[in-house]
Amino acid sequence: MQHSDEVNVHLSEQEQEMIEILMEDLELPSTDDVIRLLVKQEAQRIAVVCPSCGHYARKTQQDVASCNSCLSIINLSEGIWEVSQMRKQS
């Protein structure tokens, strides 16, 4: 039985080795945990969680992001991401 959002990645021997090193270094129990952590870290580098709808909003500039889900423009102000402009639904 497979879960619908399960991701099966075929890893090369070298990739498997890299993951094993990361598992050891990050003290994570499984390959899945390593992948989850890395995906999260990378996503956070280029996107922020939209304060308006909770979806990921892609950064368009260092301190500006735009959400494709609710079309909000999010600005970084004093270390906090805030919705500066929300498209009104008519």
Enumerate binding residues for Zn ion (CB under 5 A): 50, 52-53, 67, 69-70, 72
What is the smallest separation between the CB atom of 51 and Zn ion, expressed in angstroms? 8
For 27, counting Cβ atoms within 10 Å of its Cβ (0-12 exposed, 13-18 middle, 19+ buried), the class is exposed
Joined tokens for residue 75: 């600005």
SS3 category, 80:
strand
What is the smallest separation between the CB atom of 17 and Zn ion, expressed in angstroms? 39
Of 35 and 56, nearer to Zn ion (C-beta) is: 56
Of 31 and 66, nearer to Zn ion (C-beta) is: 66
CA atoms within 13 A on the CB side of 52: 19
What is the smallest separation between the CB atom of 12 and Zn ion, expressed in angstroms? 37
